[in-house]
Amino acid sequence: MLKYLVILLNDNSVSYCHYNNKNVSNMMSLDTLKSGILFAMKNDLKIQYVLPECDLPSDYIDLIESMFHDNIGPLKQSKNSEIIVANSFDELVSNIDMLDSNKRYLVRTTIADFFNEYGLMKDLFKKDINANIVFTDVENFTDDEIDKYSAVLDDLKQSLIDSIRNGHNVNTNLITDRIALEEMNNCGAGETNITLAPNGCFYPCPAFYYSKEQYYELGNINDGLRILNKELYKLDHSPLCKRCDAYHCKRCVWLNKKLTCEINIPSRQQCLMAHIERNTSKIILDDFHKQNLLKEKNISKIDYLDPFEVYNNI
């Protein structure tokens, strides 16, 4: 069931996920924006605007403010955004004194840069800053990096536990989201949210707009929404995912399509990384249990990292 309409205001609106945006400006027309807001109102959808780095014209701001919404924006738009995106740890930490502990930050990074710079997250923890991580090159993750990723998350885990013990209220999607979840909480592209792009067409998410895959044009603002094979976006039509308890996994349908050619089949890379994160979350939760905290929560022990190994043996 749709709950959110993501409105991509410009081709160079900040990327908040695995895809890359464009460097050229192509602003959504005011008429398309008005139609998008009306569509959201008629369908009882919450709007999330994706902002560019440049300031919006006053007539756009007036229109945007006419209906309740959230903004996703770059650091330059921090004052106007609830979710703020940085393109590196250094970019975020270099502005640490300007960050707001009441907001959510997101860092887009390569796997290699994460390995080299993850220690900067410890500085964020000490400032009560919550930061989620999105990897821009998931396809490059290899089995040779399993141990290294596990070791990095283990180090990050200990720093997070120490910060919490010292009274800091911190979390990060990689190792704490799973603790709070009782069921799958994926990105929901094509199922719980859709994107309206500057060209007036609907897409499962911005990534499909930028990749110019016409099959994933889901109608347009004038003729209406039309989702082909909508069942494939749903959890119960994903054989691997519906059996999985890595509830925090983004289950990115764009990465699925890119790496497996099927939107409902995840790549090995996604599964490996999500299960390494899941297992780190279990260690954190076990530590909380020793302190008689979150006793009602449980993450079971598993002996695999790729759920395909289990599915293949059924």
Query: Cβ distance 51 to 6 under 8 Å?
Result: no
Give CA–CA dist 246/184, Å, rounded. 7
More confident residue, 73 or 229: 73
Does residue 314 surpass a pLDDT of 60? no
Q: What is the pTM of this model?
A: 0.94
Give CA–CA dist 125/161, Å, rounded. 10
Q: What percentage of the chain has pLDDT greater than the value 90?
A: 90
More confident residue, 141 or 169: 141
Average pLDDT, the chain: 95
Does residue 112 surpass a pLDDT of 70? yes
Give CA–CA dist 145/116, Å, rounded. 13
Give CA–CA dist 251/270, Å, rounded. 8
Query: Cβ distance 61 to 51 under 8 Å?
Result: no
Distances (CA, A) of 23 to 18, 89, 210, 258, 279: 16, 21, 11, 22, 38
Strand partners, 27: 10
Q: Is 126 exposed, middle or buried (0-12, 13-18, 19+ CB in 10 A)?
A: middle
Confidence (pLDDT) at 311: 66
Structure confidence by residue, pLDDT tens digits, 195-222? 999 999 999 999 999 998 888 999 999 9
Query: Cβ distance 168 to 128 under 8 Å?
Result: yes
Q: What share of the chain is helix, strand, coil (3-state, %, to 5)?
A: 40, 15, 45
